[in-house]
Amino acid sequence: MKTRVISGLVMAPLLVLVYLGGYWIMGAAFVVGIMGFHEFCKGFEASGAKPCRTIGYAAAVLLYVLHLIMPEGQQYLSVMMWAALVVIASMVYGFNVEERKLEDMTSTLMGIMYTVFLSYHIVLIDEQFGAAIWLVFLTAFGTDIMAYFTGMAIGKHRLCPKLSPKKSVEGAVGGVAGSMILCGIFGALLMKEQMVMCLVIGFFGSIVAQLGDLSASAFKRQMGIKDYGNLIPGHGGILDRFDSVMFTGPAVYYCAVLMDAYTFIQ
């Protein structure tokens, strides 16, 4: 536990990038996507698959270049084009049927969409919803911390013993409660007009964050690895620390988009 706390404190200054926003958070999201893809490929390679790193790295660069050069408000066109190109490139990678298998193509596509595409939503939130970007980290890290301490205190019923033996139902509930409290406080202080949105995101975001954590664990079990890397002492690699953020980023973005559209219609 001491190592986890120290690692958490070491990572705290990274939140400065969230405060700065703009190109700073864009650069951070890009690095997380690249490093995450690298770790994901290593995990797949441990299971015998051979994902194409070149396609993944090129896809990450292309996504952010398109984002920068496309006119404001039309990024969705670049994302659609990018997604089509990624699918095509991943399938073309499998043309050499004598050396490559189905899992080589699918692991390439899965790795890109999981690490590069999902982390890209952080950029979209920063540009379109400003301060709402903090909700991503309040739900992800708030859920993780509260679930951990609640589970340690009163956890009795195992949540998913085959994926994560230490997680409990009580901890999961505590994580949701903690996320809603943190998002509610944040909304009361900085987003009073969007208070309902903050609470909704706190609730659903926490559930999605825990699904992200469990999904990462499921992959590791299938890959036969304990951690995705050893970059962060006590936490493993980038994906071990940001697995929940990968899911909460899209969750926060689409919740905000849908609720903003509903408000506009009303």
Q: What is the DSSP letter of 21?
A: -
pLDDT digits (tens, 9 = 90+) for 164-178: 888 889 999 999 999
Phi, psi of 5 (to 5 degrees): -65, -45
- Looking at residue 176, its pLDDT comes to 94
Mean pLDDT of 49-64: 96
* CA 175 centroid distance within chain: 17
- Looking at residue 81, its pLDDT comes to 94
Number of C-alpha atoms within 13 angstroms, CB side, residue 224? 6
Look at residue 4 and tell me whether its pLDDT is greater than 80.
Answer: no
* pTM passes above 0.85: yes
Strand partners, 168: 158
Q: What is the DSSP letter of 236?
A: B
What band does 95 get if pLDDT is binned at 50, 70 and 90? very high
- Which residues in 91-108 are b (16+ Cβ under 10 Å) and which e? eebbeeeeebeebbbbbb
Plot region of 237 (φ>0 → left; ψ -120 to 50 → alpha; else → beta): beta
